[in-house]
Chains A and B, each alone.
Chain A
């Protein structure tokens, strides 16, 4: 019987669901005594499951590595008195793109120059992940803020979002940085052409069912589902190393004063996926094996097979804290 297996609880970003499912199968074949129990949510929710719901989680993988210091280094586990995490490995990037369908409205007309105009039309239904819970959500807002600069058309953001929510999104610029503000309660109006869901992967099914015409998604996810993809320019897709400076001109502020002590501010940067082992993991050794497997040639080829290339080498934050079995995979941090 297999009832002696060690459970390994993995909480990961929704955009990793397909590659991590394959990774799980490969890992369990290699280590038959470990049973990976994976759950997928929007990246912020993934972390909240550890820091606020106090679930015992062995591996946390988010689509935004910066969330780990912001929400885990800074919050103290009341049971142990130490932070929930003190290191992470930035292992992959991604690019933002627009997923659609051959039957989507104006599918024949859309291109990488007119997308923002077509998406703003009232008869075009656009899916957006909730920026309060999912990294695609606030990254799409960054793309919109950056688009206003790139196309020298400051109304791109308001053309898309004005009047769509009961409490509006805000946008303002101080000349250096453009800031988007997200209200605490984000609810679309009944006749809105924007559809919001908690996680970006939930939008895929709605796209396939024809409920929405377009959705902001990661390139890897669009490829995995075989959907049509409209690439957006490098200044806007948040995936190019060369545009790090450019991306940092925007930020998204979230207003969560009621429910959380942390008031998240997301600064525009190149997309980076982060993985760590929480300090209260029940099975830290197995968790190390899992991350080592991800970083191994086999893990890399599984990720690449699902259109999600990893960094080579990966980048480590707080390398002195990283478990020794993993540190060999890291180069020094901050040298992307």
Chain B
């Protein structure tokens, strides 16, 4: 490596480390300032455990429900060009840029008791305000762009020729999608699903407007912080950080081969 390259790499490494420190420092200080006793107590707190279970479960339901419609949409976007496609893609990405409290209000107007859809669902016994269904809807809305975008990119990488071969061999388009495209693209699709799930479980703004109860982890942390102080909120925050880290790490390991192949 010559000297100019070295200077370049060192400069970039220093600048890059700064942002890593910026990310890691708050996490470490949360870890260090929580006493082990308080941490263990939070782990034994049934409300905390229930809340984390609810959060992860609701995120999972949101991801599964979204997959049914988001994956077909992603495939269409990857394979076809049509008028208004750019506009459609912009609309799909709107939830990323809308402030999430605003998203919560918008959802309340649709899924609330007097909302357009809320009115239809309530005779079926499905209500959204202060209910699991409300949490799922809020998580789904803010996080589905991740699934659509990553799946679309993954489908776009699959050579269309494979699908054409399957079709000339007598496969129906459904069979071609399920037995050719999806098996090749699954890692990207799953990666999108994981990102969607992760984004969903970290949601606060949209959920708190639609469903303050039952309390997901972010709402519980907010309530403990505001109502009972820092010492009450910190252990839960730490648990959420650690559990998210472990789950995320495991999934990254499962998905890692994809990174090597795509390089």
Contact = CB atoms under 8 A, between A and B. Distances in A.
Q: Which of A45, A206, A211, A259 has the most CB of B within 10 A?
A: A211
Interface residues of A, number: 28
Given A190-B214, A210-B112, A210-B113, A259 B232 contact: yes
A195 B129 contact: yes
Contacts of B215: 187
A168 to B, nearest CB: 15
B56 interface: no
Interface in B107-151: 108-109, 112-114, 129-132
A133 B214 CA distance: 18
**Which bracket fits the contact residues of B?**
20 to 34
A187 B214 CA distance: 7
A45 B226 contact: yes
Contacts of A260: 228-229
Contacts of A41: 226
B109 A187 contact: no
Interface in A249-291: 256, 258-260
Contacts of A132: 227
Nearest to A195: B130
Contact of A133 (B108, B112, B227, B231): B227
A198 B223 contact: yes
Interface in B192-224: 212-215, 223-224
Interface string A159-197: 000000000000000000000000001011010100111
Given A187-B213, A209-B112, A133 B226 contact: yes
Contacts of B132: 190
B60 to A, nearest CB: 19
Contacts of B232: 258-259
Given A187-B215, A190-B132, A209-B108, A198 B226 contact: yes
A211 B119 CA distance: 11
B47 interface: yes
B226 A209 contact: no
B229 A52 contact: yes
Contacts, number: 66
A125 B130 CA distance: 12
A29 interface: no
Interface in A214-268: 256, 258-260
A188 B212 CA distance: 10
B230 interface: yes
Nearest to B228: A259
Contacts of A45: 226-227
A209 B109 CA distance: 7
Interface string A52-64: 1100000000000
A164 to B, nearest CB: 11
B227 A211 contact: no
A22 interface: no
Q: Which of A45, A53, A187, A197 has the most CB of B within 10 A?
A: A187
Contact of A48 (B47, B109, B213, B226): B226
A101 B112 CA distance: 16
Interface string A31-74: 00000000001001100100011000000000000000000000
Interface in A52-100: 52-53
A17 B228 CA distance: 22
Interface of B: 47, 108-109, 112-114, 129-132, 212-215, 223-232
21 contacts: A44-B227, A45-B226, A48-B226, A48-B227, A48-B229, A52-B229, A52-B230, A53-B225, A53-B230, A125-B113, A188-B130, A190-B132, A190-B213, A190-B214, A197-B212, A209-B108, A209-B112, A210-B112, A211-B112, A259-B224, A259-B231
